[in-house]
Each structure stands twice: as structure tokens, then as C-alpha cells.
Amino acid sequence: MNRIQLYQGDITEMHVDAIVNAANKSLLGGGGVDGAIHRVAGPKLLEECKKLNGCETGQAKITLAYRLPCRFVIHTVGPVWHGGQIGEPAQLASAYQSSLQLAKKHQLKTVAFPNISTGVYAFPKQQAAEIAISTVHNFLETDDWFEEITFCVYDDENYGIYEEILNQDG
Ligand code: ADP
């Protein structure tokens, strides 16, 4: 599991090949981590996003990072939580999986993820963390491309949840 790292802080400060943005389907900016990424990247990021024609839930698209210290931004759309009976867990797993596939396709070795869907989209944090970690873990087990995948958590509650699961996994 040593290719999985846990970090608490602002994802816009990370010097990785790609940070992942928890975007919405329009890809035209929003609040939370999306707002923070666009603020730091500057207006050229929005200009590039406007050309992408949005993104479906569970899919991912890539842009340059402009003024961010990382090289690329992978924009993925997690599901809005509606109670968990309409495919939200599979859609969340797909958001992580699609982001990793896209990063690999672009030959990126280090990627940082925020806690997709656990803010405004209201996905329960414990279940979201289990899905995020198992999806990344399974990818790394079957594919040795990536050097390091970092879970960038922002709030203390998510930090505690991630720490516990990652310690269990050894
Ligand atoms: P979603 O709409 O997918 O729920 P949000 O941006 O509302 O997206 O929240 C996703 C997660 O990103 C939340 O856990 C939130 O605490 C976290 N977050 C907010 N700002 C930042 C930031 N600057 N860096 C990293 N994570 C952040």
C-alpha cells in the first residue's frame, strides 16, 4: 500500500503530475474544491473547460493546470447522493477509475484526489472513503504504472476516516 499516501491540506498547492477536480457536469466551475482550483489556476482554465462540452457523471476529462503548481487537472464528476439506491456507489468508483485511466493514458505518474462527492454532493463520508480507497488499491494491485496516488483530505472528519481504513489495510 506504500504507493497510496494520505495528506491533509489544500489540493491546489500540490506539486503532482495531476490533481483531480470534483467538478460538476457543466465543467464551468462551482464551489468547494472546484472553486478553489479555478481561483488558483486563473481564467484560462475556464476558457479551456468551456471547449470540453461538459462531462458525464463517473467520467473524466483533462486540461492544463495554468497557474497551479501541478501539471494537469483531471476533472471528474462524482454522483449527487440521493440515498444510495440509484447507482451512486458504482458512479463514485467510476469517477476514481476513469481519472486513473486518463492519467495513465497521458503518462502521468503522480495523482492527487480530493474526497469526491463528500461536500455539496453529500455522499456519506465513510462509504465514499471505502470506495475511493478500494478502487485505487485495486487499480494499483493490477497495474504498476503509478508512482504515487495521494488522497488529499481537507477536513478532520475525512482525515480520521482515511487514516483508520489505510491503517487497517496495512
Ligand atoms: P462535491 O460537489 O463533489 O461534493 P465539494 O467541492 O463540495 O465537491 O467537496 C468535495 C471535497 O473537497 C470535500 O471533502 C471538501 O471538504 C473538499 N475540499 C474543499 N476545498 C478543498 C481544497 N482546496 N483542497 C482539497 N479539498 C477540498
In this prediction, residue 169 carries a pLDDT of 56
> In the structure, which protein residues have their CB atom closer than 6 angstroms to any atom of ligand 1?
10-12, 22, 32-34, 36, 78, 114-121, 152, 154-155, 158
Say whether the ipTM exceeds 0.90. yes
Q: How confident is the model at residue 2 (pLDDT cuts 50, 70, 90)?
A: confident
Residue 2 · residue 164 · CB < 8 Å: no
Assign residue 29 a region (left: φ > 0; alpha: ψ between -120 and 50; beta: otherwise).
Answer: left
Over the stretch 92-103, which tens digit does the pLDDT of each residue have?
999 999 999 999
Name the helix (H) or strand (E) containing 150. strand 148-153
Best residue among 33, 74, 118 to mutate for probing ligand 1, ranked by most atoms within 8 Å of CB: 33
Over the stretch 121-130, which tens digit does the pLDDT of each residue have?
999 999 999 9
| High-pLDDT (> 70) share of the chain, % | 98
Q: Which residues are designated catalytic?
A: 34
Domain boundaries, the chain: 4-169
Q: Span 144-148, mean pLDDT?
A: 98
Residue 74 has pLDDT above 80, yes or no: yes
In this prediction, residue 90 carries a pLDDT of 98
Q: Span 138-160, mean pLDDT?
A: 97
Other beta carbons within 10 angstroms of residue 143's beta carbon come to 11
pTM: 0.98
In this prediction, residue 50 carries a pLDDT of 98
Q: Which CATH class is domain 4-169?
A: alpha beta
Cα(119) to centroid of ligand 1, in Å? Answer: 5
**Given the CA of residue 10, which atom of ligand 1 is nearest to it?**
24
